Amino acid sequence: MMLTPSITAVARVAHLSSDAVVDSPSVFSSYWKSFSRESANVTIIPHGSDPTQTLLRLGTTSLSSYTTTSSPSLIRLLPHVSELSSRPIVFHIAAQGDLADALVLREVAGNDDKIEEVAEDKVKPFIFAEKHPRTPSKAAGRPQSPIARPHSPSPARPYSPSPARPYSPSPTRPYSPVPRYANGHSNGHPNGFANGHSRKGSDTDGRHSSRPATPTTPPIFAIPVNPVTTALLEGYEAAALATLALTRRSQLALAQHGSNEPHTVIFGLGQTNLDFNIDGVAYVDVSLLSPLPSPRILGAIRPSARHVIVLEQIEKWTTKWTPLFLDIVSVLQHRDSEDRPAVRSAYLGDTSGLQSEDVATFLESTTTSRPSTRTPLGGLFSSLSTEVPHVPKHESSYTSILSHLFGERLEIPNSPSLVPSQGEFATSPEFALGRVRGALEERNELVNAVLELLQDPKLPQETHSLLSRWVLVKDDAAKGQQIGDQVVAALQDYISHPAATRILSLREHFRVKSRWIIGSDAWSYDLGASGIHHTIVSGLNLNTLILDTLPYTARNSSDHSRRKTDIGLYAMNYGGVFVASVAIYSSYAQVLQALVEADKFDGPSVVLAYLPYTTEDSTALDLLKETKLAVDSGYWPLYRWDPSKEAAGKEPFSLDSDAIKNDLQAFLDRQNHLSQLVRAKPVLAAELVTSLGETVQAERRRRAQQAYADLLSGIDAPPLLVLYSSDGGAAEKKAKRLAGRAQARGLSTTIATLDTMDLDAVSHEEHVLFVTSTAGQGEPPQNGRKFFKLLNAAIATGAKPLEKLKYSVFGMGDSHYWPRPEDAHYYNRPGKELDAKLSALGGERIAELSLGDDQDADGAETGYKVWEPLVWKALGVDSIEVHEAEPEPITNEHIKAASAYLRGTIAEGLEDTSTGALAASDTQLTKFHGIYQQDDRDIRDEREAQGVEPAYAFMIRVRLPAGVCTPAQWLAMDQIADEHGSGNFKLTTRQTFQFHGVIKKHLKPSIQAINRALLDTLAACGDVNRNVLCSSIPSLSNLHAQVYAFAKGVSEHLLPRTTAYHEIWLDKKLVAGEALKDFEPLYGEFYLPRKFKIAVAVPPTNDVDVFANDVGYIAIVNERGELDGFNVTAGGGMGVTHGSKKTYPRTGSIFGFVTPEQGQIVAEKIMLVQKENGNRADRKNARLKYTIDRMGLDVFKAEVEKLLGFRFQPARPFTFDRNIDDFGWQTGEDGKHHFTCFIENGRVQDEPGRDFKTALREIAKVHKGEFRLTANQHLIISNIATPDLPEIKRLLAHYKLDNLDFTALRLSSSACVAFPTCGLAMAESERYLPLLIDKVEKICEENGLRNDSIVMRMTGCPNGCARPYVAEVAFVGKAPGAYMMLLGGGYYGQRLNKIYRESVTEPEILAILKPMIKHYALERLDGERFGDFVIRAGYISPVTEGKAWYEGMGGEGPYREIVA
């Protein structure tokens, strides 16, 4: 069947009206393959694959379409029609002559579904079946304008890709069996017809129409009406009216024409085209088969009618009566018996070339024939003359071998060559299996006939001998055929016996056939319902050759939701099946051997044949390369499994892969070597073969003796106490390693934090080693401050309580953290003070104070390596050699690998009410679920003094791709903040919601409430792709819709597939216990080395800071304002570690241009290269930016292109001019209005004079559009219709949310959360930046810069959540009240800033900025931005690349900072 204009029209309708399209390989496929997929996700399933599971995976809230021409595809759907009928799915079926395949769906699904015929002159008909949910409240489902069926030729209008006009159904009118026309008459004439002549109706413009010509007063019958059916029909008629308005083509459910007082009514279903004016004959063309209420049918049959002929284009029907025939017979039961016409069923064939005489003859024959006779009208459709399906040329590699091996014996039951004679079912495995079963039964019948004939005493001796010999060799291919031919010749003259007659009629079965069903790997996706399963369980002597064409290099690029099953393993587990795995481009001999053995095997055989090609243009060399990769890697093993050998006492499995055999041989060689050693040295034999039980017992005895020895030595060994204080964990790790090494040297060692001890306890210790790090401005860490206070108090008394104490101190710090001479005393201050105070209290040093400096080559390890040997020498254990390897530290990689795909012990931890926290390892896993464990740092000291644990609570981050949410979702977030959080929530720099203060018992209810709002938190944090950003661009509505859909698609595509999230938080149970394991097709069990961030920017606004993300997409828009594609950037990232120059920020590098269709897979491949090459040993150097710099940009890009299979196009020109939001009112190109609110630092809360949380809640109650969160932490109230403007403006004004009278500096500012909830914060940020801006904006106003934007950002730590490193001026927290100051970032995020001062306090900030801002106001160039000015004026040098970030830090020339 060819791709015709009508098929193209149907496909176009399916595309425009559907959110997803599924296609079984059909005439539609060529359209889908050539069509640009802009608004629908098109899935073409493999040939022969069951479409049911693909259809069931589609969503239940959006319309989907299924296109096919294949009868086998429809047959596979029949068992699932009831399940599919509850989903909004439209079936588009290209029927070839016979409508039976489509109509059978109606019989199975029932009458709640709508089946409509769509046709075009001289084009084969289509059946358009629109599925609706089976609920009375939604009986009409989602309306879709049907395609009109013209009854007179009219030129089709050319298709224009302009946007479709919106569909607005007209109000339905009360039902009347007479169509309404002008003035209540059929055609506007008072007598019903002009001049009293009967004619077809006409439209108001005089064009020919198929409207009926009927009198104005029809008979009325009392017929019960189903309200659901009526509602469905009214919905259809409304859609038909809309279609008429758009196309000027009517599409009535019943189109009537012909005689006004007929004696015969012909109901035509199919391609009727009966326009013959025959007296007394009326025609009713049925376009809508279901729902078709009885009153409509009865109204079409005039009382004068004595005969009703149901003319249906149904050739093959399994029951006696057809569906429309039964409907009409049932309807006529409502008439009196004397007025009831006779009903006849007839077959509608090909009516082309039909004359009125033919119709008259047909009428006479029908009315005079027996009621059960189906009289045909027109010739039979040549439905069996189907085109032979195309067989790819590469498959001849195997079919040629079959022909060569078996010659005339070869029979392929599903050969495409059978299609012209048997129909399209001929290639289906079920059809082939039936043919084979029938042939084998006939052969058994032949054998039985031969045995019966052998019992005939009159049989000639020679013939008897031939028959006996054939029975003995009937299964021998050569001899059986030879003797069979002789038998046939002998029986030609002896046919008096009935058995001889049967033998001659079955003569073709004397030959032993080699039957091969040839299929594809599509069967491996649904084994339980596929032909391979039926073949295996049949037990028939039948061979199956399955061609797997998936190239090895493309094995990970297929649909991850459709997992293939190993057919070979499936068949071997079933048993009694010969199985072989072959590859013709690897071992030709093995292919021959496998095929011959399969043919000889008496039973089912399955041969898996590898033939990796993508298109028919793939060369033999390409196939050879792919095969070699697959076979050598073990992906495609070569083997044979013959169960018949096992019965003979032989090994049934034969491994034919050389690569695997070589590995196995190496293993066996090692085993043989051990055997030789055993024979040469019998003592070794005992060690090799000692039983496990004896070994375990001996090990237990050894460990008991060792424990006793350790006890004795511990009594004599000096006790050692190791005390530490640590905030970030580095000092804690050092202390624990020190304690472990002390135990290995026989010391009785205890370890604890400083604050767990008091002076009295320490005074009773003999040897104490102290390890401490430095926090803030030379302050002790949080868990050591109480101990320092105790030391200060003891010194104040003048007592010396520690005279018996022998101690040593190791301090850890960063000599560059406080670079100015006046701040040098902050370096390692806690360690220095601890050592001095212990000495002042009478303690005796056993080793001098040692300081670890992060600036050393090995960091703190340099100083530690000097200090530790001195400690062992002082304790007298320096001569003890320790050979036992130290345990490997547990890292995030270990936690992820052992987490069972992010489960860990989270579920158990939630049930533990003894603490408000989760286990430390689980807190690393909850990040993947969008949850961070925190505590209130404002009251941490207070709670510690009370002896209770910190006030643990959790932060929850929502996954909200592109930051778009509905008013209902906003209200849900507002309620969650009140019921489960701290009463407010945060709009983050990743365009999403963030809740703080959620205690443990509220975690699960919070997540469940978020999911009820149709949102989730999965992958909002963790080592995966996080929330995808997208420019808000309210003025470009159509473009935003495109980039929003793209961003959402990328987010969904890169989402983890683990079911742990649903099990833990939504109480979903793991299917079948643990029989089915989780599967992460992209991430694997280790996930990514570090977090991964993606953003989509639309020039000229870079509001998402696209260059600060791991992957960025810069939208390229053509002159028509349409999306052409994206420039792709990679390698951006903000995180830094103070004092570690191996860490630095980086802006993304431009890779090149890709189309929208390529964009999603590009993100996947970049992420996969990072997954395989990222630094998992050091999380501080694990981000993509370091991977690119380590590998080299060109090398990394080449790896990505290798996975993609194509190269990036050259980048296209673009321009950015800002990265801040456009506040206030804007009107989009679609006429909708948008208002951008200023939400300072994204905190949505009620405070005096600014009840923003209440304001937005009230707005969400009346708003009909959407909310868009910006990456600058502000909010856009979007898509406000003009009639709704007054109310929105009133609410904005009432709550003062429309106030934008702020300085440009404040509008351009941004800050992260920091204190009190963030555990990484070193200084204030969100709470402090507004206060700092109060003072800086006064400087700006003094210099006339109130309305001049300067991008200022602040973070409480160097991790860069507010993207400070691309701001014009930024402050990064180092200690409470102290910040690192950076200058020179690009105004639109195109350039990194640089460290100007390493530590400044507020007075220093103001002292620096006051003259600098004045200088800028006086000497700036026209349009020059502050970040550009400070570079031109010589304050700071520009950053050329991330790796050079530290070059020139501290200022330039006279502005350079003097460092120690």
Residues noted as catalytic: 957, 1026, 1091, 1093, 1312, 1318, 1357, 1361
Residue 254 DSSP SS3: strand
For the beta sheet containing 375-377, the strands, ordered from the edge strand earlier in sequence to the opposite edge, are 254-258, 281-286, 264-269, 307-312, 342-348, 375-377
Distance CA 70, CA 47 (A): 10
Distance CA 1174, CA 286 (A): 65
Distance CA 546, CA 563 (A): 17
Helix axes 829-840, 785-797, angle to 10 degrees: 40
Query: Shortest CA distance to 973 belongs to which of 992, 954, 991?
Result: 992
Query: Shortest CA distance to 926 belongs to which of 896, 908, 906?
Result: 906
Whether the bond into 146 is cis, omega within 30 of 0: no
- Name the DSSP letter for residue 87: S
CB atoms within 10 A of CB 262: 24
- Quick check: 455 and 467 in contact, CB under 8 A? no
Structure tokens at 144: 């879709």
Rounded to a whole number of angstroms, the distance between the first and last alpha carbons of the chain is: 84
User: Quick one: which H or E segment has residue 285?
Assistant: strand 281-286
HEC string for 693-737: HHHHHHHHHHHHHHHHHHHHHHHHCCEEEEEEECCCCHHHHHHHH
CB atoms within 10 A of CB 1364: 31
Phi and psi angles of residue 987, each rounded to the nearest 5 degrees, phi first: -90, 120
| DSSP for 1293-1346, written as a single string | HHTTTT---S-HHHHTEEE---TTT-TT-SS--TTTHHHHHHHHHHHHHHTT-T
User: Quick one: which H or E segment has residue 1004?
Assistant: helix 1003-1012
User: Quick one: which H or E segment has residue 467?
Assistant: helix 461-473
Distance CA 1246, CA 984 (A): 8
| Residue 1268 bridge partners (DSSP) | 964, 1276
- Quick check: 109 and 289 in contact, CB under 8 A? no
Residue 1120 DSSP SS3: coil
Distance CA 430, CA 505 (A): 26
Residues whose CB is less than 8 angstroms from the CB of residue 1071 and which lie 6 or more positions away in sequence, other chains included: none
Distance CA 1051, CA 1030 (A): 11
Total length of the chain: 1460
From its phi and psi, is residue 788 left (phi > 0), alpha (psi between -120 and 50) or beta? alpha
Distance CA 909, CA 1004 (A): 12
CA distances from residue 843 to 552, 768, 809, 849, 866 in whole angstroms, order as listed: 70, 10, 12, 13, 22
The sign of the torsion formed by the CA atoms of 1053, 1047, 984, 1324 equals positive
Beta-sheet pairing, 985-987 with 767-772: unpaired
In degrees to the nearest 10, what's the CA dihedral of 338, 342, 343, 345?
A: 170
